[in-house]
Amino acid sequence: MATSTLIQRLEAGETGVSNRSQTETFLAGGAISAGDWVALDTSKTGADKALYVVEAAGVATVGQANVIGVALADAAADEKVLVCIAGYCAKASVAGAAVAGSALVGPIGTAGQAAIEVPGTTSGKLCGVALAADVANYAEVLVIKTF
């Protein structure tokens, strides 16, 4: 079911409130861990390509083009999985040198983990911005809406 973007919560500091975030429920096309960046499952047929997501593959130097957001919970194949497709996400897998303000691109090298954009070296689809330095390869991020 699609979430509405018409009503926003503007209550600073409340635990569990995701101000300006948008989530969607998908079906997992395979095992997915909370914090993984996910992509549309193009192995499916027809409209199921927009219904299923998989852990985004790490594609050398260019990243995964169809990354759509961050899984908010673990899921096994064919289970429902909630995905943050826009806005604030408290825990996303990121490359180890991420700092607040790092531009993030679809996974390059490590599946499910956003890479830091390095102009002239890495390219790919911008999928988010780190809002804090990473701790053990996880950081708060702003997911850029593409879905």
Domain ranges of the chain: 22-143
Coil vs helix vs strand at 24:
strand
Q: In this structure, how many other beta carbons lie within 10 angstroms of the beta carbon of residue 99? A: 12
Average pLDDT over residues 110-117: 91
Tell me: the pLDDT tens digits for 54-75? 999 888 766 777 899 999 999 9
Cα(37)–Cα(137) distance, rounded to whole angstroms?
Answer: 13
Cα(5)–Cα(114) distance, rounded to whole angstroms?
Answer: 25
pTM: 0.87
Residue 10: the pLDDT is 57
* Residue 68, amino acid: I
Q: Are 59 and 114 in contact (CB under 8 A)?
A: no
Q: In this structure, how many other beta carbons lie within 10 angstroms of the beta carbon of residue 32? A: 25
Domain 22-143: give its CATH architecture.
Beta Barrel (2.40)
Q: How confident is the model at residue 21 (pLDDT cuts 50, 70, 90)?
A: confident
Residue 88: phi, psi to the nearest 5?
-70, 135
Q: Are 19 and 8 in contact (CB under 8 A)?
A: yes
Cα(81)–Cα(31) distance, rounded to whole angstroms?
Answer: 10
Residue 125: the pLDDT is 82
Cα(23)–Cα(12) distance, rounded to whole angstroms?
Answer: 19
